[in-house]
């Protein structure tokens, strides 16, 4: 089998399987398999594939047609221009989370040390983007899912950042081993989907991504309540809690702590509220 034939085979299988971006996904599989550029994949149809390469393609196609997200099959996702290792057990970083990174960077100095918490770090994408942009910053990454801790650690190591971050197995935002008033910043992209909406999610998400990273309880607000309860005391005065959300604002009814003032809100390109910045005033 040559590369041109393999490419047509994958594209057709994906089209028949109802995969929206069949050619793009086929090319990503071949790029990853052969470690070549897209230009090579398109320009060398005559290249003969080995038996091992054909077996990889068959397996990747079967997994994708069974609804597995492409990033898990490739073992890789991109966020903030950085490559992350991902697999079953951790949430795939989403582009909209870059709004949170932008808001956080406004609060982290580039010329002096700072210390921040990332509660529910998942793959580690937010912390790693921030540590790359702010070489003097240090972080504590908290995560309740042991399978995610594995991926976060791999991503820290592969980016050479394991000396600047502590990975902590946290069940609730109030079990973080830091002194009161010691954080410049806390960020979180918590699970925020109401439990009853999980069944209506895309198959890729519903059947493959960890529900622990998605399910925000009955009203989707469980983790905002926990963050408002546990985090403010850890912040310095003037420090901020920055949280991602899926369009609905957690407000006073969800336990917003006294002494915290809302200072910034960001909507995504569809106009949905994505990110809120709360500052500790006292
Ligand atoms: N912080 C991680 C991310 O943004 C994981 C978020 C989550 O598991 N809810 O991808």
What pLDDT digit, counting tens, does each position of 4-57 carry?
A: 999 999 999 999 999 999 999 999 999 999 999 999 999 999 999 999 999 999
Q: For residue 20, count other CB atoms closer than 10 A to its CB.
A: 8
pTM equals 0.94
| 117-146 per-position pLDDT tens digit | 999 999 999 999 999 999 999 999 999 999
User: Cα separation of 50 and 103, whole Å?
Assistant: 48
Cβ-in-10-Å burial (0-12, 13-18, 19+) of 253 comes to exposed
Question: Ligand 1 centre and the CA of 169: distance in Å?
Answer: 15
Q: What is the DSSP string of 160-221?
A: T-TTSEEEEE-SSTT-----TT-EEEEEE----B-GGGGGGS-HHHHHHS-GGGTB--TTS-
Q: Which two tokens stand for residue 116?
A: 């921040």
Asked if pLDDT for residue 259 goes beyond 90, the answer is: no
Helix (H) or strand (E) holding 241: strand 235-247
Atom of ligand 1 nearest to the CA of 192: 9
Cβ within 8 Å of residue 47, ≥6 positions away: 2, 3, 34
**Max Cα-Cα span within the chain:** 68
Closest CA to 143 of 97, 190, 75, 178: 190
Ligand 1 nearest-atom number relative to CA 121 = 1
Q: Please, are residues 239 and 186 in contact by the beta-carbon 8 Å criterion?
A: yes
The answer, yes or no, to whether residue 257 has pLDDT greater than 80, is no
In angstroms, rounded to a whole number, what is the distance separating the alpha carbons of residues 203 and 17?
13
Q: How far apart are CA 105 and CA 123, in angstroms?
A: 19
Percentage, residues of the chain above pLDDT 90: 91
Please identify which residue in the block is written with the tokens 């090319």.
Answer: 27
Find the mean pLDDT for residues 148-177: 95
Which atom of ligand 1 is nearest the CA belonging to 244?
4
Q: What is the mean pLDDT of residues 179-194?
A: 96
Q: Could you give the CA distance from residue 219 to residue 137 in angstroms, rounded to a whole number?
A: 35
Taking the centre of ligand 1 as the mean of its atom positions, its distance from the CA of residue 262, in whole angstroms, is 22
Q: How far is the CA of 35 from the centre of ligand 1 (A)?
A: 28
Q: How far is the CA of 189 from the centre of ligand 1 (A)?
A: 5
Name the closest-CA residue to atom 10, ligand 1.
93
Ligand 1 binding pocket (C-beta < 6 A) is 91, 93, 97, 120-123, 125-126, 189-191, 213
Name which of 85, 80, 118 is nearest 99 in CA terms.
80
Other residues' Cβ atoms within 10 Å of the Cβ of residue 54: 14
Closest residue CA from atom 2 of ligand 1? 122
Separation of CA 259 and ligand 1 centre (Å): 27
For residues 17 and 70, give the distance between their C-alpha atoms in angstroms, rounded to a whole number: 14
| Lookup: tokens for 18 | 């109802």
Mean pLDDT of the chain: 95
**Encoding tokens for residue 263?**
């200072």
């Amino acid at each position: 089998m040559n590369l041109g034939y393999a490419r047509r085979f994958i594209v057709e299988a994906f089209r028949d399987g109802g995969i929206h971006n069949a050619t793009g996904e086929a090319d990503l599989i071949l790029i990853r398999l052969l470690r070549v550029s897209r230009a090579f994949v398109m320009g060398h149809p005559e290249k003969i594939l080995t038996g091992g390469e054909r077996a990889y393609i068959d397996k990747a196609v079967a997994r994708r047609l069974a609804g597995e997200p492409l990033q898990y099959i490739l073992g890789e996702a991109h966020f903030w221009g950085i490559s992350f290792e991902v697999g079953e057990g951790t949430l795939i970083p989403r582009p909209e989370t870059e709004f949170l990174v932008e808001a956080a960077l406004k609060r982290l100095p580039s010329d002096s040390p700072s210390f921040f918490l990332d509660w529910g770090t998942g793959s580690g994408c937010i912390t790693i983007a921030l540590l790359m942009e702010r070489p003097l910053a240090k972080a504590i990454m908290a995560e309740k899912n042991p399978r995610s801790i594995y991926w976060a650690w791999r991503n820290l190591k592969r980016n050479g950042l394991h000396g600047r971050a502590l990975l902590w197995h946290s069940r609730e935002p109030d079990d973080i081993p830091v002194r009161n008033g010691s954080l410049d910043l806390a960020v979180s992209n918590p699970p925020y989907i109401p439990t009853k909406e999980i069944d209506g999610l895309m198959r890729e998400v519903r059947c493959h991504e960890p529900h622990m990273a998605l399910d925000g309880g009955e009203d989707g607000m469980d983790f905002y309540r926990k963050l408002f309860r546990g985090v403010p005391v850890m912040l310095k005065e003037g420090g901020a809690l920055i949280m991602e959300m899926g369009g609905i604002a957690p407000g006073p009814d969800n336990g917003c702590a006294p002494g915290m003032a809302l200072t910034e809100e960001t909507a995504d390109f569809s106009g949905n509220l994505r990110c809120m910045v709360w500052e500790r005033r006292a």
